[in-house]
């Protein structure tokens, strides 16, 4: 059974590691090359992207190596195992927390467009980032101080939090505040955005910019709803098995099947590979910026002259249109002109 598990686990972890590294590098390059995407809340996107990139480099690749090496792993008391478990828990928590607040930022931008600039200021965003990382560091440090423990899991091929009855209070606190509440928050916000989109579809909407207004077809909202629902489903699929297995091992005082532990851990790590692609594919301004960046890269390496294009105005109009379409308060676009 263990041989079959290694055979399946190794390629899955290798593919996840490559997807996480490539996706997050692409997202970081898009942010670096396009000044139009830089805003006061850019730090939230950078936070979860860097966390996911580090997970792909430091944790997923280590899991693939451990499953491939056929070794017995590391002793739980070793400095490497304790450090690896610390980094794993820190990056897991920072990724999901930063992604949650990035979702809150997007929700505020869509549903409270008029007051968005006064709600999300640069100083408040910096303070929030500091609080996020203080919370993550605090949680990751507690097992090193005796509140919980880091152990090597032979079924996960990783050093991670020990899900035992002795650690039940810390495990419950971490899963509740670190994972369950953020995931439910993101799913709820995405659900509300779908509800707003449905209302806008039923009453009809005009999309406006500085030049003119025109009617938005209902299928635009349908596509937006599908994206929001798909994002929520991905979150639940990636995290619910991992949470269930962790709580089962902690409170049932019984080791879960090796396949369940391995696959649930792989699914949780897969979220780090999906996050950048979801960000780039679900937001118009990121899609436009990524398309322009790829075109510039291809033109530069192929030697063809670069054609000028109004990148700045395109991104600004796309952002303005998206906000005015979804917000019931930003512009009075629900009535014909």
Q: Which of 261, 267, 263, 259 is nearest to 237 (CA)?
A: 267
Strands 206-208 and 213-215: antiparallel
Q: What are the sequence ranges of the domains in the chain?
A: 2-326
pTM of the model: 0.80
Backbone torsions φ then ψ of 208, nearest 5 degrees: -125, 150
Count CB-CB contacts under 10 A for residue 68: 15
pLDDT in tens, the chain (337 residues): 567 777 888 899 999 999 999 989 988 888 888 777 778 888 888 999 999 999 999 999 888 888 887 666 678 788 999 999 999 999 999 999 999 998 898 888 877 878 888 888 889 999 999 999 999 999 999 999 989 899 998 888 899 999 988 889 999 999 999 999 999 999 998 888 888 777 766 665 555 666 666 555 555 556 666 777 778 888 899 999 999 999 998 988 777 888 889 999 999 999 988 888 877 766 677 777 777 777 776 777 766 655 554 444 444 434 434 433 344 433 333 333 3
User: What is the enclosing helix (H) or strand (E) of 249?
Assistant: helix 218-251
CA distance 288 to 55: 27
Per-residue HEC secondary structure of 93-157 comes to HHHHHHHHHHHHHHHHHHHCCCCHHHHCCHHHHHHHHHHHHHHHHHHHHHHHHCCCCEEEECCCC
**What is the fold, at CATH topology level, of the domain defined by 2-326?**
Rhopdopsin 7-helix transmembrane proteins (1.20.1070)
Distance CA 325, CA 312 (A): 20
């Amino acid at each position: 059974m263990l041989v079959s598990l290694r055979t399946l686990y190794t390629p899955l972890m290798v593919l996840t590691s490559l997807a996480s590294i490539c996706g997050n590098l692409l997202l970081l390059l898009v942010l670096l090359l396009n000044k139009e995407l830089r805003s006061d809340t850019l730090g939230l996107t950078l936070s979860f992207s860097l966390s996911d990139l580090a997970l792909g480099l430091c944790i997923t690749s280590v899991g693939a190596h451990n499953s491939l090496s056929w070794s017995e792993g590391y002793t739980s008391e070793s400095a490497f195992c304790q450090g690896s478990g610390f980094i794993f828990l820190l990056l897991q928590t920072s990724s999901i927390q930063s992604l949650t607040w990035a979702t809150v930022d997007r929700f505020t931008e869509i549903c409270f467009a008029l007051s968005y600039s006064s709600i999300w200021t640069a100083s408040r965003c910096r303070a929030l980032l500091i609080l996020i990382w203080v919370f993550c560091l605090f949680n990751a440090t507690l097992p090193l101080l005796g509140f919980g423990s880091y152990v090597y899991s032979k079924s996960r091929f990783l050093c991670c939090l020990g899900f035992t009855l002795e650690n039940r209070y810390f495990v419950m606190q971490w899963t509740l505040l670190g994972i369950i509440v953020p995931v439910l928050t993101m799913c709820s916000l995405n659900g509300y955005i779908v509800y707003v989109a449905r209302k806008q579809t039923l009453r009809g909407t005009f999309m406006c910019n500085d030049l003119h207004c025109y009617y938005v077809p209902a299928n635009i909202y349908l596509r937006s709803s599908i994206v929001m629902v798909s994002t929520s489903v991905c979150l639940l699929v990636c995290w619910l098995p991992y949470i269930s297995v962790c709580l089962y091992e902690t409170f049932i005082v019984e080791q879960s099947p090796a396949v369940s532990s391995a696959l649930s851990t792989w699914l949780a790590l897969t979220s780090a590979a999906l996050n950048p692609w979801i960000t780039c594919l679900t937001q118009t301004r990121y899609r436009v910026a990524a398309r322009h960046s790829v075109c510039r890269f291809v033109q530069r390496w192929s030697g063809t002259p670069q054609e000028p294009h109004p990148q700045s105005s395109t991104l600004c109009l796309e952002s303005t249109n998206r906000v005015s379409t979804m917000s019931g308060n930003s512009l009075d676009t629900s009535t014909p002109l």
